[in-house]
Structure 1
Amino acid sequence: MSEHADVDVIVAGAGPAGLVAACLAAAGGFTTAMVTGPESTRPDPRTVALMMPSLAVLEAAGLWPGTLIEIAAPLRKLRLVDDTGALFSAPELVFSAREAGLEAFGWNIPLAVLKPALEERARELGAEFRRASVSGCSVKGGIATLALDDGTTLAGRLVLAADGRHSPLRQAAGIGTVTWSYEQTAIAVSFAHSRPHHGISSEYHKPAGPFTTVPLPGHRSSLVWMERPERADALMALDGKALAAEIQAMSHGELGLVSDIGPRQSFPMSGARAETFARHRVMLIGEAAHIVPPIGAQGLNMSFRDAHDAVALMTAARDKGDDFGGDAVLSDYDGRRQRDVRPRQAVIDLMNRSLLSGYLPMDAGRAAGLAALASFGPLRRFAMTIGLGGSSIPPAADRSATGS
């Protein structure tokens, strides 16, 4: 087992959270290696609504706006519609970016374009890539050594584990998880429509969960549709014309004639949170640390904050001459991320379960909460700030990435 570090930082995971962490680390002057596993050939139909703080992280990595803005669409308004048919219904709630002093809350970007752009940028910044899977991890003398399934090893002073919900690195670090499930399946798909979306993302709260349309360029939108598993299976089996008719009905025809259904994919819904987000020179990033249903565009935006906070703390420790993979940094990271993730997970879980329960007091409570947001400006603006991810742009975004 080597006690020599091959690189400063090892990032495990081929998703956008790991790739943005690699970009930030490499841009910050850390020698960086990416362990990405086998390359997937399956098309990814999902998009991600990145809020302005997350776009500031992409800017710090030298990727935004660049060419990404050409295939993205701005989110100028966020609309919540109580479509449950419950006895107690909430008024329609519309958040406007102008009310928050912004041109847009964020931009909706196809993952099929974002991920290759992040990988290309990480390579430009000097990150080394290994197409292998992690089979083990050990720590000795301030060095974490990964055993890879190609028979090689890779040693670094810190590991950023962005290796997904079944994270082998989380298990190797001895970190347990709290998990829960929902009787829901999410369908991700895009579609064309005859009426303009005007930059408005609409989240219809249905009895089986949210049905959320998000703008794409032109007369096109992406959709995350949460349904009961049996209903979701039936929808996935429909041909394009029949699914278009279902989408048009569920959106009440507000986007006009729906057509040109894109590739679709379904995902069972669950939630999880690691008991700690860092241990033994391993920091957990993204779904290795937390999983939430796709409500309020919180998932990947939280993951981008994971990456930002990890690299910001590493940089501060290094600049002071401290061990950037040591226990003090790991403890700071865990505390910072737990304070962000736990309350968001609680709110998302409560909102989702209130839709599924059909329990009258929960319906009334949800309706009252949304009514308060609709009628009280300061509370609505506070909710917008929290939804964006905090009250300020991340500090790392103030620095230009090297090579950008």
Structure 2
Amino acid sequence: MTRFDSQAIVVGGGLAGLAAAIAVAQAGLSVIHVAPAAPPDRRTSALMMPSVDYLRTAGLVDDPARIGHALTHIRIIDATSRLMRAPETLFDAGEAGLAAFGWNFPNTRLAEAFAAGREKLSNLTTRQAALTALEIDDTGAILTLDDGGTLRTPLLIGADGKKSLVRAAAGFRARESGFTQAALVCDLDLARPLGGTSVEFHYPQGPFTLVPAGESRANLVWIDERAVLKAAQAMDREALARLFAEKSQHLFGSVSLATPTHMFPLSSITVDQAGKDGVVLVGEAAHAFPPIGAQGLNLGLRDVADLALVLGDVGRTSPDWARIVSRRYAERREADLKRTGGMVDALFRSLISDLLPAQLLRAGGLWGMKMLPGIRKRAFAVGMGRG
């Protein structure tokens, strides 16, 4: 009989990995979380209410107001000079019967909350090491770590990001597309605060988005050509602040930088299936796309929630229970991954496309969301992950 070190191993120390390790342990399995030490993630995550509700149910966030900021409105402004321009559109959470669409959280605060939840689980242990090699056989997965250790498990959860070793070594078929655009992020202080409104200025190479971060603070996510962003980073602070004020159309008065800027390349990753042979993928190991529509971590948390549901439905008396879990998980996640990935890809490509038909579709879609209640309601549902 094969001897296992735990019933499940989760690889990856990011937010999706932390959430997955906790969820699997809460389902009653013994879990080892392989999470190498990493620098703090200074970005933020806009989580829609279904994700916030999940975090509350899982006991990871009790009061979102303690660590985040409510998103009550979403304002979209077409800042292009194209012939076919979309109308300015404002989405109000009250139209959907909600106090807020969601909450904007600093990733460092989420990580602290998740880590605190992890420490409460006696059946969950953490191994601060990195995965260096992986083998899959008929009984499960054999992991080799950079600390010299070897672990064996029947169920392996890969949450190790875009360059997932779990995904590659387990033989998942993935399609990856690179973009010439990148994302520049930093925190800004505005003379006129955003309140609860996230504001997206849509430029030809991507959105320039200001997300509320409390009082006069805003989180900036600016997508543009890499050369443009590198040139912006080379500016002195005063010149860069003037550029940011110009790109926000001076709607919020003077702008000052509160943190240094960081740039991240953009790419998209899709897999044919999110689970097989006792291995499941969550978060960016399974899907990645440009930061449009605040779907990244929201989709990852839906991965985790569905994995927890599958684990609750599948007994562990059968020798192949882990393979059953991976197959059912893949089936359960298929529709959401295709729908959300397709939506985000279409939105981003329509924004950066020079083709008139794509611009017409985008402008027509925003006109429909502005004027037609049925389309607005559908857009709410898809954006919240309920579509």
TM-score by length of 1: 0.91
For 1:88 and 1:65, the matched residues in 2 are separated by 45
Runs of 4+ in 1 over 6 A off after TM superposition: none
Change (3 A) 1:342 1:141: closer
For 1:388 and 1:312, the matched residues in 2 are separated by 20
Correspondence for 2:342: 346
Contact 1:20 1:61 in 2 (8 A): no
The percentage of aligned residue pairs carrying the same residue is 37
Instruction: Look up the equivalent residue of 2:55 and give its one-letter code.
Output: L
Shift of 1:101: 1.0
Superposition RMSD on alpha carbons, in Å? Answer: 1.8
1:134 equivalent among 124, 131, 134: 131
Correspondence for 2:277: 280
Shift of 1:142: 3.3
Correspondence for 1:149: 146
- Structure 1: runs of 5 or more not aligned: 392-404
| Deviation readout 1:1-29 (Å, 9 max, x if unpaired) | x9212222211001100101112122232
Correspondence for 2:106: 110
Instruction: Look up the equivalent residue of 1:160 and give its one-letter code.
Output: I
Q: Are 2:231 and 1:203 aligned?
A: no
Correspondence for 1:40: 38
3-state SS of 1:212 partner: strand
Change (3 A) 1:119 1:74: same
Correspondence for 1:82: 78
3-state SS of 1:107 partner: strand
Change (3 A) 1:114 1:151: same
Correspondence for 1:18: 17
Contact 1:45 1:264 in 2 (8 A): no
Structure 1 segment 5-404 matched on structure 2, within 5 A: 5-37=4-36, 39-41=37-39, 43-66=40-63, 69-126=65-122, 127-140=124-137, 142-318=139-315, 325-390=321-386
Instruction: Look up the equivalent residue of 1:205 and give its one-letter code.
Output: H
Correspondence for 1:399: none
| Deviation readout 1:136-155 (Å, 9 max, x if unpaired) | 22344533221212111222
Change (3 A) 1:7 1:82: same
For 2:88 and 2:319, the matched residues in 1 are separated by 51
Question: How many residues are matched?
Answer: 386
Contact 1:4 1:143 in 2 (8 A): no
Between 1 and 2, higher relative CO (CA 8 Å, sep ≥ 6) is seen in 1
Contact 2:278 2:324 in 1 (8 A): no
Contact 1:24 1:60 in 2 (8 A): no
For 1:56 and 1:240, the matched residues in 2 are separated by 39
Instruction: Look up the equivalent residue of 1:250 and give its one-letter code.
Output: K
For 1:76 and 1:330, the matched residues in 2 are separated by 37
